[in-house]
Amino acid sequence: MWSYYTTLRYFIEFSYNGKNYFGYQIQPDAISVQEELEKALSTILREEIKTTGAGRTDTGVHAKKIFAHFDTEKEVDEINLPYKLNSFLPPDISIKKIFQVKDDFHARFDATYRTYEYYISLAKNPFTQESACQHWKRPLDIDKMNEACKILFEYEDFTSFAKLKTDNKTNICKMYKAEWEQDGTELKFTVSANRFLRNMVRAIVGTMVEIGSGKIKPEDLRKIIEDKHRNAAGTSAPGHGLFLVDVGYEFEAKK
């Protein structure tokens, strides 16, 4: 007697506070968002579930909007499963929705862009200690930082902002947006590209802070990028000020 299984692929839209996690991706001897998500899915669906995320965030980094996909042999209740998962998961992980996609659609490789926001507090703020970099002892020149942002669009090789000794096949990224905004005593850096290297946004922010504080000039950014070495750039900004806020796709949910 012949038997076969049909595999269905589902996307999950979710968010998380990264304070208690060593990033999204599973790693030995460290708690991760992926581990918590897969444990919850496997328990509720009563089969071993593996997820693939849209990207892997660093330790302490947050995600306001991120996606992952998983395959299963059973049809999923797209309405009720998010409620069940939210009841099972810890309070710092929230499932927004689950929907079926084409069997070959990929959460990581089919993403067309990612957008991050980084927050800096220019005044000592007890309410943003875990969600913004505290930089209140020295002023920052936002105009110079935005001047440097324009230089980013002149390049596509961002090796100088990449974490050393990674498995990246290429350090080429296409930048879509890079801009600093100030709202009172809070600075927000918004950056969007087709892809990001590990540690890239935090390394860019750290370099921008050196420009804003007058340690280096905006035009020095060109030499930093052209050196193509991580040591040329500034120290990485703390992870807790960084948020993944959007991941873009060109698809329609499979009905």
pLDDT at site 1 = 39
Element (H, E) at 16: strand 8-16
pTM: 0.92
Phi-psi region of 180 (alpha: psi -120 to 50; beta: other; left: phi over 0): beta
Could you tell me which of 132, 203, 143 has the C-alpha nearest to residue 173?
Answer: 203
Would you say 206 and 224 are in contact if contact means Cβ atoms under 8 Å apart? no
Residues 175-214: tens digit of each pLDDT: 999 999 999 999 999 999 999 999 999 999 999 999 999 9
Residues 130-153: tens digit of each pLDDT: 999 999 888 999 999 999 999 999
How far is residue 3's CA from residue 34's CA, in Å, rounded to a whole number?
A: 32
- Active-site residue, selected from the candidate residues 29, 58, 103, 183: 58
pLDDT at site 165 = 65
CA distances from 229 to 155, 195, 219, 241 (A): 14, 19, 17, 24
How far is residue 45's CA from residue 163's CA, in Å, rounded to a whole number?
A: 37
pLDDT at site 252 = 57
- 29 given a catalytic annotation: no
Element (H, E) at 8: strand 8-16
How far is residue 212's CA from residue 51's CA, in Å, rounded to a whole number?
A: 40
For the chain, give the mean pLDDT: 93
Confidence of residue 255 (pLDDT cuts 50, 70, 90): very low
Q: Given a cut of 70, is residue 219 above it in pLDDT? A: yes
